[in-house]
Amino acid sequence: MRLMELFSSTLSAEILYFLVLFMEEISKNDKIGEKAEVVEYEAKKHYSKTLASAIAASIVVSGIMGAIAGFAVSETSNKEIRKIIEQQRGIEATDDADAGKAIKNNRSVSIIEDESATINVVEKASPAVVSVIVTKDVPKLDSYFIDPFANDPFFNPFGFREIPREEPETEKREIGGGTGFIVGEDGFIMTNRHVVEDEEAEYTVIMNDGTKYNAVVLARDSFMDLAVIKIESDKKFPVIKLGNSGNLKIGQTVVVIGNSLGEFRNTVSKGIISGLKRSISAGDGRGRSELFDEMIQTDAAINPGNSGGPIINLQGEAIGVSVAMAQGAENIGFAIPINEVKKIYQSVKETGRIVRPYIGVRYMLVNKQIQKENNLQFDYGALVVRGRRLSDLAVIPGSPADKAGLVENDIILEIDEKKVTSDNDLSRIIKRKMVGDNIVMKVWSQGREKMITAKLEEAGQEY
């Protein structure tokens, strides 16, 4: 019996000794390490003693286990506190080192995702972006040579000098270029009017893979710098989806693709939308200029040759058409909103021509100065007035305005419950409408307000 007790005591102490060594390895806490040393000493001291020593050691083990449990609880609490703080910071990490790694990793992921989005857009859109090459028969340079001494017997005694041709020879030569993008599988392409304005020129479309197709001009827009051309082929072509320019936000990322400088096909630049609803005056370098409203401003590079190319959002949708860049400035380019482009494309596709609504009045926008000078009742609205010539009538006979009963000196105050102002003038409102739309106008006429309804009709070539 004594032997059994001694064996049990010895076994318990030995187990306790190895337990302490194990606990030292898994615990990094200084206080637990100190307790472990005390236990180790006690264990060695009572290694060969009675069962009472083992019982005492067991009590110490209980203390160690309690300390370990307390440490575990404390460590768990600390981790929970850190987790709450880190969650408030938007970082899920267990310590400072992990938190730093998480921030770095999040930034890396964001950069990679942004780059991937841009690459995907370019890969998706590029096959539908084309270069538009303009060629024309032009006189040969050498046929312009005139020899002033060809008929002079002193300088040309034997008649060897060539007498210049009366009509110079011509040759087909590339005289310009721009960009376009395919909007219909059957080869419909949108571009700028100024890219294809020469009615005597021939137009060739070069795809991103270098394939060339002849193209014909279907329509040139007399109001906006837009044109519709079509590839002469029965093949199905890749297209760019048309987005919505009505919900654009300043700061939104955009990608521009175009035939930069007429030489570098499908050049890609990236930027943001810098402004919306800009009004600009754009010149073509030959003394002509046009006024454009509702333009999209971007800091993405738009260079000569980009004209007619798409501005694309990160969903791969065209939201505008590149049209102009600011001279003497950097990173200020402009694009025609795609919602205007949609109307032109649908009109040409369905009718073969550009159909626009018109109301048929000449007008002057009313402001405070005009109100004061003419003693008017309102400082806003469209005052129906004559033009400078006698033939420039205030209301066009037979027009929707004439049929609705508008007369000279009426003031159109509202259209469809929206005030007519400098920021929302009459032409802009009508331009957003479709042929056949009914508009309700609030009009100040002969000292009283009245409501008039007019049905918009298709504008003739003179409008």
Q: Tell me which residues are annotated as active site.
A: 194, 225, 307
Q: DSSP 3-state assignment of 390?
A: coil
- The answer to whether the CB of 364 falls within 8 A of the CB of 371 is no
- The answer to whether the CB of 428 falls within 8 A of the CB of 293 is yes
Query: What is the rounded CA–CA span in Å between residue 131 and residue 460?
Result: 32
Q: DSSP 3-state assignment of 187?
A: coil
Q: DSSP 3-state assignment of 364?
A: strand
- The answer to whether the CB of 59 falls within 8 A of the CB of 53 is no
User: Angle CA(67)–CA(69)–CA(73) in degrees, nearest 5?
Assistant: 115
Query: What is the rounded CA–CA span in Å between residue 168 and residue 141?
Result: 9
Burial track 9-22 (b if 16+ CB lie within 10 A, e otherwise): bbebbeebbebbee
Q: DSSP 3-state assignment of 442?
A: strand
Could you give the C-alpha distances from 254 to 110, 248, 365, 368, in angstroms and in order? 17, 11, 35, 40
What are the contacts of 212-219 at 24+ separation with CB within 8 A? 213/187, 215/132, 215/187, 215/189, 218/188, 218/348, 218/352, 219/344, 219/347, 219/348, 219/352, 219/353, 219/354
Query: What is the rounded CA–CA span in Å between residue 172 and residue 140?
Result: 9
Provide the token pair at 213.
């197709």
Closest CA to 191 of 305, 293, 277: 305
List beta partners, residue 171. Answer: 138
Type of residue at 368 = K
Query: What is the rounded CA–CA span in Å between residue 345 and residue 349?
Result: 6
- The answer to whether the CB of 441 falls within 8 A of the CB of 426 is no
Query: What is the rounded CA–CA span in Å between residue 415 and residue 442?
Result: 6
Could you give the C-alpha distances from 36 to 64, 75, 347, in angstroms and in order? 8, 19, 89
β-strand pairing of 170-182 with 212-220: unpaired
- The position carrying tokens 């020879």 is 169
